[in-house]
């Protein structure tokens, strides 16, 4: 086998692979003989079909398969042995590769176009300053969080007049087109949560009601959801889909949530075993936990700044013509030449950032262990399992579920791995560059983040 390379530009080359008959004939005949042993052809005993007939029946496809294997292995080994840092994947050059007949048993030449990754020295140290926005929870936001917690941990009570967050308990009665009670119509005692009603006009009609009051409404219009309508009226989804009647609803009872009062009982419900006894400590604990929950948002904006800065400090030129061709062919018709030309800067920037990420992974030995991937999958099946006392049976079951997921959900596993690498890279960059921490309110952060995206 003879492999040569000719540079066709500063960042492109064409590789020629010449294969002699001696290199492919033996493999082709070996596979065909295996076919001969297993072939079941009418008129011949198993294993006694003439080799010439097998060759005529399967020769072309076997030849193509075996030669493609040889060429693919040769090309991959050549790229590895020569330590070529290629961009994308090798592209077959169909203009130079000639059509051949496998029956001729002569030397065959294949040509592949390569694009090379640009060379650059990664700049990633404390000479690089990047803003990191720390989101601070204001007193107003903190008050809203506490009000929500008081509501969440409150108790149900009765109300004399309905408010926008109350629940109406009452009786639905189906009406005919004249507004009278429909004979053999639907009659159901049920509840309506006012704050989930989609139609604003109907929602307003439910506020200010007292027990005994009556309103007329269309349940499907009120809920905006067939499943919720079916549940509200105690009927099947199929029947709810064809239902268009108005209903009378008579209020029997109004219930509401009475907010919990600030005190040790609430503090222990929200933060069990934290030992909080004062409102001041409770507020600071909520503030601290809330600000921790914003770290992911801060990291996301930080990485946007990182990307801009590192691409500025690590400029590179790509083989644009090769890259455009590779993007079109590798996406199998999903991207047109016109669309690619219009958005090529975005594609090119994405490729440049990927090259920078790959260089960081290589230079700093960034790794994601198999156990981390498996543990991430376990989190999906049993959130909080890491802090639970697990029996051997549950542990074995979790491992089985995780292994099955990894073996079958390849695309999703790839996304998980990419996400874990993104976390690793973010952590790495934080330790390498100079972080310029800037405190910012949540409202201002949202505005800033929107400007960057």
Both tokens assigned to 445: 């952060």
Q: Please tell me what DSSP assigns to residue 181.
A: B
Same domain for 310 and 162, yes or no, is no
CATH label of the domain that carries residue 164: 3.10.50.30
Contact 130, 309 (CB under 8 A): yes
pLDDT digits (tens, 9 = 90+) for 244-285: 899 999 999 999 988 999 999 999 999 998 999 999 999 999
Q: Tell me, yes or no, whether 308 and 422 share the same domain.
A: yes
pLDDT tens track for 311-370: 999 999 999 999 999 999 888 878 888 889 999 999 999 999 999 999 999 999 999 999
Q: What is the pLDDT of residues 107-139, one digit of tens each?
A: 889 999 999 999 888 999 999 999 999 999 999
pLDDT over 80 (residue 51): no
Query: In this structure, are 365 and 241 located in the same domain?
Result: no
The Cα 142–Cα 345 span in angstroms is 43
Q: Are 15 and 75 in contact (CB under 8 A)?
A: yes
Q: How many CB atoms lie within 10 A of CB 60?
A: 13
Cβ contact 122:314 at 8 Å: yes
Which residue, 213, 243, 258, sits at the end of a domain? 258
% residues pLDDT > 90 (the chain): 69
Q: Alpha-carbon distance 419 to 434, whole Å?
A: 24
Asked, for residue 398, whether it belongs to a domain, the answer is yes
Query: Taking residues 380-394, what's their average pLDDT?
Result: 88
Looking at the fold, whether 439 and 314 belong to one and the same domain comes out as: yes
Largest CA distance in the chain: 96
Please give the structure tokens belonging to residue 312: 């500025």
Say how many domains are in the chain: 3
State whether 446 and 298 are in the same domain.
yes
Q: In the structure, how many helices (H) and strands (E) does the chain have?
A: 16, 11
Please tell me the predicted confidence (pLDDT) of residue 218.
93
323 and 213, same domain (yes or no): no
Structure confidence by residue, pLDDT tens digits, 210-248: 999 999 999 999 988 888 899 999 998 888 888 889 999
Do 305 and 393 sit in the same domain of this protein? Answer: yes
User: How far is residue 220 from each of residues 53, 181, 187, 231, 418, measured CA to CA in Å?
Assistant: 70, 18, 15, 11, 43
Confidence of residue 43 (pLDDT cuts 50, 70, 90): confident
Domain CATH number, residue 23:
3.30.70.1050
Q: The domain containing residue 105 runs over which residues?
A: 2-115
pLDDT tier, 85 (very low <50, low <70, confident <90, very high otherwise): very high
Of 115, 144, 178, the residue that ends a domain is 115
Which pTM value belongs to this model?
A: 0.72
Residues 2-18: pLDDT tens digits?
999 999 999 999 999 99
Cβ contact 194:168 at 8 Å: yes
Look up residue 429 and give its two tokens.
């960059």
Mean pLDDT of 142-167: 92
pLDDT for residue 29? 75
Cβ partners under 8 Å of residue 7, min gap 6: 13
Confidence at 163, pLDDT banded by 50, 70, 90: very high
Q: Checking phi first, is residue 335 left (phi over 0); if not, alpha (psi -120 to 50) or beta? A: beta
């Amino acid at each position: 086998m003879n492999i040569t390379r000719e540079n066709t530009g500063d960042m492109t080359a064409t590789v020629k692979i010449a294969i002699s008959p001696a290199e492919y004939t033996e493999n082709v005949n070996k596979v065909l003989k295996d076919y001969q042993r297993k072939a079941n052809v009418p008129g011949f005993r198993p294993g006694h079909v003439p080799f010439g007939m097998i060759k005529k029946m399967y020769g072309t496809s076997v030849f193509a398969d075996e030669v493609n294997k040889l060429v693919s292995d040769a090309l991959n080994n050549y790229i590895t042995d020569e330590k070529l840092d290629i961009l994308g994947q090798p592209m077959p050059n169909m203009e130079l590769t000639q059509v051949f007949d496998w029956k001729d048993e002569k030397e065959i030449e294949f040509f592949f176009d390569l694009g090379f990754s640009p060379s650059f020295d990664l700049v990633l140290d404390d000479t690089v300053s990047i803003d990191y926005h720390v989101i601070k929870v204001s007193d107003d936001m903190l008050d809203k969080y506490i009000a929500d917690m008081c509501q969440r941990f409150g108790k149900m009570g009765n109300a004399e007049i309905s408010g926008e967050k109350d629940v109406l308990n009452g009786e639905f009665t189906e009406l005919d087109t004249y507004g009278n009670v429909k004979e053999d119509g639907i009659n159901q005692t049920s509840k309506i949560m006012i704050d989930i009603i989609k139609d604003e006009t109907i929602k307003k009609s439910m506020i200010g009601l007292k027990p005994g009051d009556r309103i007329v409404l269309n349940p499907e219009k009120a809920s905006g959801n067939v499943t919720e309508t079916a549940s509200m009226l105690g009927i099947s989804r199929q029947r709810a889909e064809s239902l268009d009647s108005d209903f009378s609803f008579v209020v029997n009872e109004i219930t509401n949530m009475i907010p919990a009062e600030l005190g040790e009982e609430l503090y222990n419900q929200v933060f069990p075993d934290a030992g909080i006894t004062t409102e001041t400590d409770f507020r600071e604990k909520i503030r601290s936990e809330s600000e921790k929950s914003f770290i992911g948002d801060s990291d996301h904006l930080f990485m946007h700044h990182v990307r801009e800065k590192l691409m500025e400090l690590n400029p590179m030129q790509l083989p644009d013509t090769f890259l455009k061709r590779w993007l079109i062919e590798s996406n199998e018709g999903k991207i047109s030449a016109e669309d690619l030309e219009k958005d090529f800067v975005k594609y090119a920037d994405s490729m440049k950032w990927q090259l920078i990420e790959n260089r960081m992974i290589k230079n700093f030995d960034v790794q994601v262990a198999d156990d981390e991937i498996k543990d991430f999958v376990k989190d999906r099946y049993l959130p909080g399992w890491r802090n639970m006392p697990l029996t051997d049976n549950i542990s074995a079951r979790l491992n089985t579920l995780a292994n099955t997921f990894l073996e079958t959900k390849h695309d999703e596993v790839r996304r998980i791995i990419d996400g874990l690498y993104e976390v690793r890279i973010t952590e790495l960059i934080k330790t390498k560059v100079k972080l310029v921490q800037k405190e910012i309110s949540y409202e201002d952060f949202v505005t800033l983040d929107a400007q960057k995206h």
